[in-house]
Structure 1
Amino acid sequence: MSAPVQLSSIPTIAELYKDGQLRPASPKPTDASLPSPSSLCNSRVSLIRASITTLATTSIVNAANNSLLGGGGVDGAIHSAAGSSLYEECKTLNGCETGSAKITTAHALPSKYIIHAVGPIYYRARSESPDRPAELLGSCYRTSLDLAAEKGGSVAFSCLSTGIYGYPKAEAAQVALTEVRRWLEEEEEAQRGDGGRLERVIFCLFDANDIEAYQEWVPKIFPPTDDDLPPKEQATEATATTDQAPAASTDTTTTESSAEKLKPDAEDIDKDWEPVEKPSETASEKTTDISEEGEQVEAPDLGGSDGEKIEKPETKDVLDEAAATGKVLPQSSLEKDW
């Protein structure tokens, strides 16, 4: 089993901006409804690419189903790593409603608690009303944050409802980030600047498409402050705000499109990431997907249940070892074929 990933090794959004692993939104958003830069929020929110079962945070949030008795994907990975005693404790909770969450101890996991959040099945919720999926998903994040705050310390979220429940990843990222930002600001106001009850909120990502969605929405919901930017970008930002009619910039770091920024340079291919050997793939295997544990599973139909069981292969895929290392969001990872 891999060594637990400690909170001290998980970078904040502010640190990721300074290291160049996150870039400001380009072009700069003009939507007045988007929040302003906040050093407080950026220092309390983190991103990491890892298996959530390896994080030594106070709490982790599981993408559970209504039964809370385990299933496929991240839910199955958490139950498997925590041990059978988690199943026994979950049996005493009598399930959970969609849009809500319940908490248990973490058993064999390196975290202390597991918050089991039941997100919506996207197309089923959308059949009720267009806004219903976001209402239920937002409720999951708020309820989970309230439960985590009772325990204090740190909480790490898996991506809720984006797997077999079919919630579009970019839309889910927007809801998750917006709810966390709103909750942090409300908590800070209630605490009157005393630092709040949660030291850190972590978004734990695994799938490359989840990473792309968060790299799109983090700069919009948690834009960088001037202090978060590397010195070169600070100077560029200052020039852009003082010039009435700035000339076209020749600095490719500030003029390239958002899509181009996600493409790695050759020198970045091995930066902050351990290369892994891609498993061989036959024609019959091209319809499979990769689970949280790095297992190959049948690609499910949208609108199914997150609680559907999957059978484990005899041996784990090499991706399990790569995901468990806790490497942080290198841009080059977006070019990998996961």
Structure 2
Amino acid sequence: MSAPLLLSNIPTVSDLYKDGQLQPAPTDSADASLPTPSSALNSKVSLIRASITTLATTSIVNAANNSLLGGGGVDGAIHSAAGYSLYEECKTLDGCDTGSAKITSGYALPCNYIIHAVGPVYHRAGRVSADYPAELLRSCYKTSLDLAAEKGGSIAFSCLSTGIYGYPSGEAAEVAGKEVRRWLEEDEKREGGGRLERVVFCCFEMKDVRAYTEWLPKIFPPTAKELPAGKPATEAGPGTGQSSEAVSEDTTTNQPSLKKPKAESEAVDEGWEPIEKPSETISDKTTDISEEGEKVEAPDLAGSDGEKVEKPEPRDVLEEAAVSGKVLPANTLGKDW
């Protein structure tokens, strides 16, 4: 496993604005008016592209299934890196309801705790009502933040439900960002508030990075002091069609670095520095990990950001496996985060 990535080396939203690597939302956006800029909030929120198994935060949030016994994607990577003791503890938890979360020790991971949050299967929850997927996802973030606050320190979120559970990355980033801001604001008002030092949004797939790069400036807009000299707040940013810089990790120094994507005619992912991956390796052709710890090949992705996944089996078969934790043959496994 690569060296742990310390919290002090993870840039905050405030840092990204000051470096000119996160652009303010355009003022002519059709969205509702932006919330009041707050340097205090912007200094408590981070965005990074990395494997969450490398983050030395107090807690990390796993995109788990209802069984809590491991699966593919980030869930499998976390179970593999943490070791078999995590599986043994999870067996004692009697699963977890969708929209909720449970906490365990971090075992061999650099974090102290793992919070296992079960996000919704998007179109299945949508059959209940149009708002139900967001309600369940919002509950995942709130419950995770409440559990993390009991331990204090910092928390890092993986991108919940945006893989085989089918939650669109943009909609998920909006729900996550708004719930985190609401929770932080409420926590500051309570007696003994300020329980969390930092909330980190940790992305692995490019589609999720792009979603957070678009939504964070709309939810955590910059103050005037956070903008680089000569860059007014009205400068066009994500969502305008112009290129914006994005977040990656410099694996030679294990320090966060930022890299501009190439022109639109070139592949976006080629403009990123490769990140060092944990010992279980998550390669360009993703290796999923079953409950038994055996590695099985996932289907090829149409681009390394995983935006298009071939699903040789019907959606309901994959959903059933994702929710129940059942391990499917190699040719039917997709990412479950």
1:52 deviates by 0.3
Partner of 2:12: 12
2:208 corresponds to 1:196: no
2: CA distance, partners of 1:190 / 1:255:
34
Deviation at 1:172, TM superposition (A): 0.4
Aligned to 1:288: 300
Structure 1 residue runs of 5 or longer lacking an equivalent are 241-252, 313-338
Per the alignment, residue 218 of structure 1 pairs with 216
Q: Once the two structures are superposed, what CA deviation does each residue of 1:28-77 show, in whole Å capped at 9, x if it has no partner?
A: 44644542211111000000100000000000000000000000111001
User: What residue is the counterpart of 1:126 in the other structure?
Assistant: 126
CA distance in 1, matches of 2:41, 2:82: 31
Q: Return closer, same or farther for 1:287/1:86 CA change in 2, 3 Å cut-off.
A: closer
SS in 1 for 2:230: helix
Instruction: Tell me the residue number matched to 2:204.
Output: 206
2:224 & 2:79 partners in 1: Cα distance? 42
Q: After the TM superposition, which residues 67-78 of structure 1 pair with which residues of structure 2 at under 5 Å, given as runs?
A: 67-78=67-78
Give aligned-pair identity as a percent: 62
- For 2:216 and 2:51, how far apart are their aligned partners in 1? 20
CA contact (8 A) 1:166 1:302 kept: no
Correspondence 1:214-293 to 2 at 5 A: 214-233=212-231, 236-237=232-233, 254=236, 258-262=240-244, 264=260, 273-274=273-274, 288-289=300-301
TM-score scaled by structure 1?
0.76
The amino acid that maps onto 1:226 is: A
CA distance in structure 1 between the aligned counterparts of 2:55 and 2:238, rounded to whole angstroms? 35
Distance 1:15 1:301, change over 3 A: farther
| C-alpha contact (below 8 Å) 1:73/1:291 kept by paired residues | no
Report the Cα distance in structure 2 between the residues aligned to 1:105 and 1:291, rounded to whole angstroms: 34
Quick check: 2:236–2:242 contact (8 Å CA) kept in 1?
no
After superposition, the Cα gap between the structure-2 partners of 1:96 and 1:178, relative to the gap in structure 1 and judged at 3 Å, is same
One-letter identity of the residue aligned with 1:211: V
Shift of 1:122: 0.5
Q: Distance in 2 between matches of 1:55 and 1:139?
A: 24
Q: Which one-letter code corresponds to 1:70 in the other structure?
A: G
CA distance in 2, matches of 1:157, 1:15: 19
**Unpaired runs of at least 5, structure 2:** 246-259, 264-268, 277-282, 286-296, 331-337
AA in 1 matched with 2:195: R
Match of 1:3 in 2: 3
Question: Which residue pairs with 1:325 in the alignment?
Answer: none
Residues 103 and 116, structure 2, Cα contact 8 Å, conserved in 1: yes
| Cα distance in 1, alignment partners of residues 201 and 81 from structure 2 | 19
Query: 8 Å contact 1:57–1:156 — kept in the other structure?
Result: yes
- Find the aligned partners of 1:125 and 1:150 in 2 and give their Cα distance: 29
User: SS in structure 1 opposite 2:199?
Assistant: strand
**Equivalent position amino acid for 1:17 in 2:** Y
Instruction: Quote the Cα distance in structure 2 between the aligned partners of 1:133 and 1:92.
Output: 28
- TM-score w.r.t. structure 2 length? 0.76
Q: How many residues align?
A: 287
Residue 200 of structure 2 aligns to a residue whose secondary structure is strand
Q: Tell me, in whole angstroms, the C-alpha distance in 2 between the residues paired with 1:266 and 1:101.
A: 39
**Structure 2 vs 1, CA of residues 138 and 272 (structure 1 numbering), >3 Å: closer, same or farther?**
same
Structure (1 or 2) with the larger CA radius of gyration: 1
Partner deviation per Cα, 1:151-205 (whole Å, 9 max, x = no partner): 00000000001111000110000000000000000001114xx760000000000
SS at match of 1:232: coil
Hey, what does 1:167 align to over in structure 2? 167
Please state whether the residue corresponding to 2:109 is helix, strand or coil: coil
Name the CA shift for 1:2/1:44 in 2 (closer, same or farther; >3 Å): same
Contact in 2 for aligned 1:71/1:310 (Cα 8 Å): no
Assess, with a 3 A threshold, how the Cα gap between structure 1 residues 231 and 53 changes in structure 2: closer, same or farther.
same
| Separation of aligned partners in 2, 1:214 and 1:73 | 20
Shift of the 92–48 alpha-carbon distance from structure 1 to 2, 3 Å rule, reads same
Shift in alpha-carbon separation, 1:151–1:256, aligned structure 2, 3 A: closer
| CA distance 1:91–1:154, change in 2 (3 Å) | same
1:254-281 per-position Cα deviation (integer Å, ceiling 9, x unaligned) = 59973212374779x99983589x979x
Q: What one-letter code is carried by the residue in structure 2 that aligns with 1:93?
A: L
